[in-house]
Amino acid sequence: MSEKKESSITSLISAFARAYHTEHDEPLIFNDFVSRKLITSEEFATISENMIRGIHFFHPDADHQFRGDSNQILKWITQVQLSPITLARSAYSEQVMLQEAALGVKQMIVLGAGMDTFAFRHPELGDELDIFEVDLPSEQQLKKERLRQAELVIPRNLHFVPMDFTREMIRTDSWSSLFRDVRTMFTLLGVSYYLPKEDLCRLIHHAFAPLPAGSSIVFDYADEHLFQEKGKYNRVENMVKMATMGGEPMLSCFTYEDMEHLLEKAGLLIYEHLSPEEVQERYFSQRTDDLSAFETIHFIHAVKK
């Protein structure tokens, strides 16, 4: 499968998960009311059908439990496997972004933005905050096409930076010239798993080198149990298998001490850390459906000293 096709599928499935949640679940963990506009009806149907057809991979006893009810099958797969990480990390990232904007951050850099919709859902920040979405050229081309089809006007404060940042950011000259030297917040969601540890370390170091103290980053990472933990309904094991089958295997997991050391080398301190248990308590504790925090997945907000 081509790079363009693969990356597009990944971002579309994430957008699908957010859109499905907004339309079908309550209470909402994360209300992404724009994401549905970025997916065609055909894609929405195709992703749904593929999930339903794959039910026996996720739930071997599905015939007995669901008796062929496709709506129930789709809800179960989405709530158990597809949505929990995306919803919780989006909710956490957005909470930090809004806090940082209120505290005077002038620049947000969304690494691996995909179908991110923050700028469209927060027009009130248009005069206060520059938002840079950094992603592969093919990914950004797809997104711009979808924005045109949805007749969504690109806000003046939203800037697209077409770049394979996992490679380009290592060259500090080309990277730092793109942005202002002001207090900045980065988000790096759904990326750390797929990078060798050294690359993640270099990426964070080079991203923050030209920036002032108080700049920060929010990201998610998998802990040291990633490759042993099966998880509820084997969903952690399934996630690892699916990544490998999709040609983008998960490479890295970290102890808390690993992450503390990596960030310290880049001049950052951990401001907040959420373990899976804390993610569960914050975002899923009152639920009566199948949504729950994903095992092994942690969130971090780290700040430059």
Are 188 and 299 in contact, with CB atoms under 8 Å apart?
no
Asked if residue 7 has pLDDT above 60, the reply is no
Helices 70-77 and 41-53 sit at what angle, rounded to 10 degrees? 90
pLDDT, mean of residues 59-73:
90
Nearest CA-CA partner of 80 in 283, 285, 290: 290
The DSSP element (H or E) to which 9 belongs, if any, is helix 3-24
pLDDT at position 239 over 70: yes
The Cα 104–Cα 127 span in angstroms is 12
* pLDDT in the model for residue 247: 87
Mean pLDDT over the full length of the chain: 93
Q: Which residue has the higher pLDDT, 228 or 61?
A: 228
Regarding the domain with residue range 84-304, which homologous superfamily does it belong to in the CATH classification?
Answer: Vaccinia Virus protein VP39 (3.40.50.150)
Q: Say if residues 71 and 147 touch (Cβ distance below 8 Å).
A: no
Residue for token pair 């339309």: 23
Side-by-side strand order, sheet with 107-111:
158-162, 130-135, 107-111, 184-188, 216-222, 297-304, 268-274
Q: What is the pLDDT of residue 172?
A: 60
Annotate 78-110 with b (16+ C-beta within 10 A) or e (fewer): bbbbbbbbbbbbbbbbbebbeebbeeebebbbb
Amino acid identity, residue 117?
Answer: T
Nearest 5°: phi and psi at 95? Answer: -60, -45
pLDDT in tens, 145-187: 999 999 999 999 999 999 998 887 666 666 777 788 899 999 9
The label of the residue with tokens 């394979």 reads: 164
Q: How far apart are CA 199 and CA 191, in angstroms?
A: 11
Phi-psi category of residue 275: left, alpha or beta, with phi > 0 → left and psi -120 to 50 → alpha:
beta
> What DSSP character marks residue 301?
E
CA-to-CA dists, residue 21 to 13, 58, 98, 193, 247, angstroms: 12, 19, 22, 24, 27
pLDDT recorded at residue 98:
98
